[in-house]
Amino acid sequence: MDREAREHYSVVIQAKDMAGQVGGLSGSTTVNITLTDVNDNPPRFPQKHYQLYVPESAQVGSAVGKIKANDADTGSNAEMTYSITNGDGIGVFSISTDKDTREGILSLKKPLNYEKKKSYTLNIEGANTHLDFRFSHLGPFKDATMLKIIVGDVDEPPLFSMPSYVMEVYENAKIGTTVGTVLAQDPDSANSLVRYFINHSTEEERFFNIDANTGTIKTSKVLDREETPWYNITVTASEIDNPDLLSHVSVGIRVLDVNDNPPELAREYDIVVCENAKPGEVIHTITATDKDDFANGPRFNFFLDERLPMNPNFTLKDNEGEHQYVFLIYVFLVLTERAQA
């Protein structure tokens, strides 16, 4: 008997007395027979070749397609697993088995790029999970098919040459001074032209402009390092053919120091000295500061203002550092910055 050809049978049985002679009595009953399935049918793919379309924008880890082999058996005898046995897409795609629908679920393992590779080929095998060795001579209990995957081209936003940029410009530079250049290109085969712009949505971004065609960033205001030593702006790129496709990149701009601030006394000094102070005794220490960077700031030279009459009772000693000793009750000081070697 073949369950796949006919699963149910009904048999009517009659019993007669008097050895079946005329005049005897009889009774009858119906017997319903259901055949139990055994795993005597291997899985079979309806086609030997399949084709699947997957856009290059598909997300890694997402399901991109399904494939199914048929098995004439039922229950556990029809259970199967799918696997990728060969093909140039074996590292890009994976396949799993849906136990409820007995379908092979194809998933994406790596990003697709239409411009680099437009198609992949996979050899897929479906095999029974539970085997009945009484029918092994009917095997093998598996089947294979070839799946060709066509990668679909998707219009992608411009791609910047770097994930972020760092640029430098000197403070006090003239308006229109070039800071640097960003570069973005259309990754699609159309190679559409790209335009650049800065939103100027923040106060920092208002200090800079960008050439829409070249991506060259220039100053639009005079910069002061002592006020803002670092700017963070965002540059946006869009395709001319599709302005809705946008890419953004962060640009950090470091403002370099120039020596544009004179040294200043750290505070107002009002010095008191005892009348019995000994000659050579340190009366007070004077400190100076500079808003510029260290390279353009300390160290300082201290000396008495030559425009004022000298007081023979007090002298000033330069300690060749930030702290200087001065021997006087009150004195006007002129500070100059020491040239760096």
What are the pLDDT digits (tens) for 140-183?
Answer: 889 999 999 999 988 889 999 999 999 999 999 999 999 999 99
Q: Could you give all domains of the chain from N- to C-terminal order, each with its CATH number? A: 1-36 (no CATH), 49-152 (2.60.40.60), 159-256 (2.60.40.60), 264-337 (no CATH)
Q: How confident is the model at residue 340 (pLDDT cuts 50, 70, 90)?
A: very low
Model-level pTM? 0.58
Confidence of residue 29 (pLDDT cuts 50, 70, 90): very high
Q: What is the largest CA-CA distance in the chain?
A: 163
Q: Find the radius of gyration of the CA atoms of the chain.
A: 44
Residue 337 and residue 260 in contact, taking contact as beta carbons nearer than 8 Å: no
DSSP string, 116-131: T--EEEEEEEEEESS-
Angle, alpha carbons 183-186-190 (nearest 5°): 145
Over residues 240-249, the mean pLDDT reads 90
Highest mean predicted confidence (pLDDT) among 15-19, 180-184, 317-321: 180-184
What residue type is assigned to position 36 of the chain? T
Distances (CA, A) of 173 to 108, 176, 254: 52, 8, 13
CA distances from 259 to 12, 138, 178, 313, 337 (A): 114, 92, 21, 36, 10
Containing H/E element for 11?
A: strand 8-16
Q: What's the pLDDT at 270?
A: 77
Q: Helix %, strand %, coil % for the chain, to 5?
A: 5, 40, 50
In degrees to the nearest 10, what's the CA dihedral of 91, 97, 102, 107?
-50
Model pLDDT, residue 88: 94
Residue 221 in 3-state DSSP? coil
Report the pLDDT value the prediction gives residue 323, as an integer from 0 to 100. Answer: 44
Alpha carbon 39 to its chain centroid, in Å, reads 49
The secondary structure of 224-240 as a DSSP string is -TTT-SEEEEEEEEEES
